[in-house]
């Protein structure tokens, strides 16, 4: 899908008229695109007007049912400042060819599983992952989950290709109104503010399929020189800086 095409999907997106694959692609895109985010906000406001024109009060008895149910329903914790610590890196280390071959062997079982899943979801994802893993500089970072967090996230990438592939599996559905969001941390020597990710450090947003198969597979343009990757839960529209707890994190070895 070309860049122009994806900007044009905001209208179909707010109408919930995209198929799941396109919706994922658009959400990936619009989290990082101010134009599309403005479109989404404006179109939603428009649709609220349209919705008001077809308003129908529900049966009176529903109010009591709703109030009874919320009285026993716990609210989500509000966004909390992220506090996960990342082991700082002494400096940039490129994985040597020999090591990457060894790593590839160790990872093989996992990658085969991923490819098997990928064929059912997106061929471009499987192709891109295969291309990345063929590179001499292929690197895979497994992100460590915070205590009690289910599922796995890995990022496979090649600087030579300029491509990163995000592989999330066995994940619980993101709580309603929230989405998993991926962040990258620049190398300490590559930024003026080495101690924190910033708005520029934000990569994109990936929302799990509502069908909830628990898998997230995305192909991204590799940001320059990543030092670490992290996943947080954010409001569905995406956040410009991290607001949720870091639930997965991994430093580049």
Partner 1 sequence: MRARPGVLPPDAAAPADGDAASALLRRAGRGDQQAFAELYDVLSPLVHGVVLKVVRDPAQAEEVTQEVFVELWRTATRFDGSKGSARAWASTLAHRRAVDRVRSEQASRERQQRDAAAAIRDHDMVVDEVEAGLDQARVRRALDRLSELQREAVELAYFGGHTYRDVAVLLGVAEGTVKSRIRDGMIRLRDELGGEA
Q: 3-state DSSP call for residue 226?
A: strand
Q: Are 146 and 246 in contact (CB under 8 A)?
A: yes
Q: Provide the Cα torsion 32, 10, 165, 224; round to 10°.
A: -30
State which of residues 2, 4, 34, 50 lies at the interface with partner 1 (CB under 8 A): 50
Q: Is 82 in the site for partner 1 (CB under 8 A)?
A: yes
Q: What are phi and psi of 167, to 5 degrees?
A: -125, 105
CB of 143 to partner 1, least distance (A): 14
Q: 3-state DSSP call for residue 166?
A: strand
Tell me the C-alpha distance between 112 and 128, whole Å. Answer: 14
Count the site residues for partner 1 by CB under 8 A: 77
State which of residues 175, 221, 224, 253 lies at the interface with partner 1 (CB under 8 A): 175
Q: Is 4 in the site for partner 1 (CB under 8 A)?
A: no
State which of residues 99, 108, 240, 253 lies at the interface with partner 1 (CB under 8 A): 240
Q: Is 146 in the site for partner 1 (CB under 8 A)?
A: no
Q: Is 49 in the site for partner 1 (CB under 8 A)?
A: yes
The encoded tokens of residue 46 equal 């428009």
State which of residues 3, 69, 147, 192 lies at the interface with partner 1 (CB under 8 A): 69
The encoded tokens of residue 22 equal 């396109």
Tell me the C-alpha distance between 208 and 182, whole Å. Answer: 12
State which of residues 107, 165, 228, 231 lies at the interface with partner 1 (CB under 8 A): 228
Q: Is 54 in the site for partner 1 (CB under 8 A)?
A: yes
Q: Is 8 in the site for partner 1 (CB under 8 A)?
A: yes
Q: Contact letters (x/-) for partner 1, 126-145, by CB under 8 A?
A: --------------------
| Residue 241: DSSP 8-state | S
Q: Are 127 and 134 in contact (CB under 8 A)?
A: no
Sequence-separated (6 or more) residues with CB below 8 Å from residue 187: 89, 92, 194, 225, 226, 227
Q: With respect to partner 1, which residue has the nearer C-beta, 103 or 190?
A: 190
Beta bridge partners of 185: 228
CB of 117 to partner 1, least distance (A): 20
Q: Please count the residues of the chain.
A: 253
Beta bridge partners of 181: 205, 232
Q: With respect to partner 1, which residue has the nearer C-beta, 16 or 192?
A: 16
Backbone region of residue 8 per phi and psi (left: phi > 0; alpha: psi in -120 to 50; beta: other values)? alpha
Q: Which segment (15-23, 28-36, 95-103, 158-166) binds partner 1 by CB under 8 A?
A: 15-23
Q: Is 149 in the site for partner 1 (CB under 8 A)?
A: no
Q: Is 78 in the site for partner 1 (CB under 8 A)?
A: yes
Q: Is 90 in the site for partner 1 (CB under 8 A)?
A: no
Site residues for partner 1, 102-131, by CB under 8 A, read: none
State which of residues 35, 101, 146, 210 lies at the interface with partner 1 (CB under 8 A): 210
């Amino acid at each position: 899908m070309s860049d122009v095409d994806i900007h044009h999907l905001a209208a179909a997106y707010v109408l919930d008229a995209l198929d799941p694959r396109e919706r994922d692609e658009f959400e990936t895109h619009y989290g990082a695109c101010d134009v599309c985010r403005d479109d989404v906000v404006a179109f939603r406001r428009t649709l609220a007007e349209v919705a008001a024109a077809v308003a129908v009060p529900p049966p009176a008895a529903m109010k009591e049912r709703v109030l009874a149910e919320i009285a026993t329903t716990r609210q989500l914790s509000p966004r909390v400042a992220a506090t996960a610590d990342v082991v700082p890196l002494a400096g940039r280390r490129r994985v040597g060819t020999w090591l990457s071959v060894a790593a590839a062997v160790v990872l093989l079982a996992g990658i085969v599983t991923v490819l098997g899943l990928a064929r059912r979801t997106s061929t471009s994802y499987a192709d891109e992952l295969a291309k990345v893993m063929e590179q001499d500089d292929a690197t895979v970072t497994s992100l460590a989950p915070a205590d009690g967090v289910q599922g796995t996230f890995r990022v496979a990438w090649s600087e030579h290709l300029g491509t990163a592939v995000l592989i999330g599996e066995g994940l619980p559905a993101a709580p309603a109104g929230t989405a998993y969001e991926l962040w990258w941390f620049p190398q300490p020597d590559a930024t003026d503010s080495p101690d924190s990710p910033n708005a520029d450090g934000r990569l994109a947003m990936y929302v799990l399929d509502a069908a909830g198969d628990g898998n997230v597979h995305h192909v991204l343009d590799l940001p320059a020189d990543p030092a670490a990757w992290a996943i947080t839960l954010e409001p569905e529209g995406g956040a410009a800086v991290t607001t949720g707890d870091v639930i997965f994190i991994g430093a580049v070895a």
